[in-house]
Structure 1
Amino acid sequence: MTIRPHPDPATPDATWRDVPVLGFTVAAGIAVLFCLVWLLRDGLTTDYTWGLLLSPVLMSVPGAAVMVLWERLLARVPRLAATLVAVAALLALGLVLAWWLVEVNAQTHLFTGSTFWLLAVAPVCAGLAWLAHRLLPAARRPVEEPPAALDDDAWARRLAGVLRLRKDLPDARVAEIVRDARARGAAAGRPLAEELGSPESYAVGFRKDRVAAPRRRAWAVTALVLLILATRLPGVVAGERLSAWDVAYLLVAVVVLVSEWCGYRAAVRRARR
């Protein structure tokens, strides 16, 4: 179950329908990983709480929702504004989940049983993803306005959305392209739609920024690693010993961090060729 590219360049690929479909699909994979991790950490038996059973879903579905929110905002507002709103939404969801895990879930103990019961979460999540895929209606395609029907402001907004969404260009570059397009229209004394055609066809002439996505991933992983270190630092300062599990996932996080930055550097080298 993947997100297919939308035929309209100005429309985001992801829809709200994709949140449960993609979220539960990812949750199924996370549930298998959880089982492996808990086998290493607790052995063949473990204590079950609602937090443990729901963790795969709580990690994936809100993340999918924020991803869809960010992409849909990107088509309408500058990248910085879309990113700030998405980060604020992610932090708000994180705070709510953290409160629930600490104040509510910590007081519950469902049962103690085989760690392999965690594997049962995977088919449940996969089934929910399949049901969402089958039952939720497909998103309606927006009614496309002909280029001539767009005034200059609407044309410029649509061009900016396409450049952010499909070309991955930063706000400064998008603003520069829009200013140049407006100047060409003003010099010709004609509406932008008549002078330059559709925003989508005009955007085809600009190259996609192949470095932006690897750079975002590298910084996102950096922030995640710093968050992990920040949560462990107070305990280390207080004299607590790190468990083998703590050391293991810190090492994994560092390996992923190095890999992402190497990928970013490789993208920079390819872009310079």
Structure 2
Amino acid sequence: MNHNGWAFGDDAPMTARLTTAFAFTAAAGLSILFTIVWLLSDGLSADISLGGLIAPLMLGVFIAVAGAVYDVTLRRLPFAWMCVVVAVSVLALALVGAAIFELTTDQRYSLSSFVFLIGVPVYGALAWAVFALWPAPKKQEPRLFGPGEDRGDWREEFIRAARVRGDLTDKRIEALADDAYARAEAAHRSVGEECGDPVRYARSLPKDRATAAKRKLYFQLALVVLAGIVLTLNLGGEAKSAFGTGALILWLAIFVVGSLSSFFLWRKAKREQEGEAERPVD
């Protein structure tokens, strides 16, 4: 999501403005999903608690906050540490959500399942209001690195931009940074003069398809584990819903299929890159 519109981009970090707007947008979409779920499980009329009514908004906020944490840590931390921080934040958000839900489920109301649809225009209007009333931050112009610039500044910005790509390991990023400085030294020029803007230079590098596919595989496997844990807890509980259990099994099956697909894509990308590396250069 850029600073003035609705499209995500590498140069548009998840600011507080975008996070808030995204939370309301997600809540609007989740309101439709909750309507469908309640219609399938309880029909046209259902006993809904206050926690159930605000669940789309809570989930929207949690998704937006988790996305913002991911965006911030991706730019500043190595991939492994980023995963740890995001996992801890998701766990903390889940605990907070469970506590709020527990406090708001005592009183139930007999309402139509279509009551959740009220949230679609309400949350949509709030998302629009955020963009209309919350001033967008000024877009920063890219820095120009000349002979007098601190060598560390170029390296730090390059590493940050390379991490955002998501397809380069930290070891590879460090090697690319060293290579840029070596090229500049060999040409008797500053690294800024030799390679230009660090962000643009990072984006111009060839994509590491194998690393990107492997990280996607890890993410899918994490979702499989999470779905398995939730399903196990659901089956071990006293009050089991056939609809809820079926939905969790479907969730697990979808992630298993996604993991298998990601595995084969990773193997394919790895073989292709190995073949390109072994191919003789004319």
TM-score by length of 2: 0.80
Residue 270 of structure 1: CA displacement? 5.6
Tell me the residue number matched to 1:59: 59
Residue 221 of structure 1: CA displacement? 3.9
- Output the CA distance in 2 between the equivalents of 1:158 and 1:88: 26
- Contact map agreement 2:166 2:212 (CA 8 A) in 1: no
- Contact map agreement 2:32 2:120 (CA 8 A) in 1: yes
Tell me the residue number matched to 2:120: 122
Most deviating of 162-171 and 112-121: 162-171
**Pick aligned residue for 2:7 from 3, 7, 10:** 3
Tell me the residue number matched to 1:164: 163
- Contact map agreement 2:235 2:245 (CA 8 A) in 1: no
| Residues 25-64 of structure 1: pairs in structure 2 closer than 5 A | 25-64=25-64
- Contact map agreement 2:161 2:199 (CA 8 A) in 1: yes
Indicate how the Cα distance of structure 1 residues 119 and 230 shifts in structure 2: closer, same or farther if over 3 A, else same: same
Task: Select the structure with the greater relative contact order (CA < 8 A; seq sep ≥ 6).
Answer: 1
Unaligned runs of 5+ in 1: none
CA-to-partner distance for each residue in 1:80-104, whole Å, 9 max, x for gaps? 33333222222222211112222x1
CA-to-partner distance for each residue in 1:219-269, whole Å, 9 max, x for gaps? 334333323332342564579866244124312431243035415534653
- Contact map agreement 2:52 2:105 (CA 8 A) in 1: no
- Output the CA distance in 2 between the equivalents of 1:235 and 1:146: 56
- Secondary structure of the residue that 2:46 maps to in structure 1? strand
- Secondary structure of the residue that 2:104 maps to in structure 1? helix
- Contact map agreement 1:27 1:59 (CA 8 A) in 2: yes
Identity of aligned residues (%): 28
- Output the CA distance in 1 between the equivalents of 2:104 and 2:57: 15
- Contact map agreement 1:21 1:132 (CA 8 A) in 2: yes
Indicate how the Cα distance of structure 1 residues 234 and 79 shifts in structure 2: closer, same or farther if over 3 A, else same: closer
- Contact map agreement 2:20 2:127 (CA 8 A) in 1: yes
Tell me the residue number matched to 1:179: 178
Most deviating of 195-204 and 49-58: 195-204
RMSD of the TM alignment (CA)?
2.9
Most deviating of 41-50 and 217-226: 217-226
TM-score by length of 1: 0.83
Indicate how the Cα distance of structure 1 residues 204 and 146 shifts in structure 2: closer, same or farther if over 3 A, else same: same
- Output the CA distance in 1 between the equivalents of 2:240 and 2:95: 27
Letter in 2 for 1:164: R
- Output the CA distance in 1 between the equivalents of 2:163 and 2:125: 35
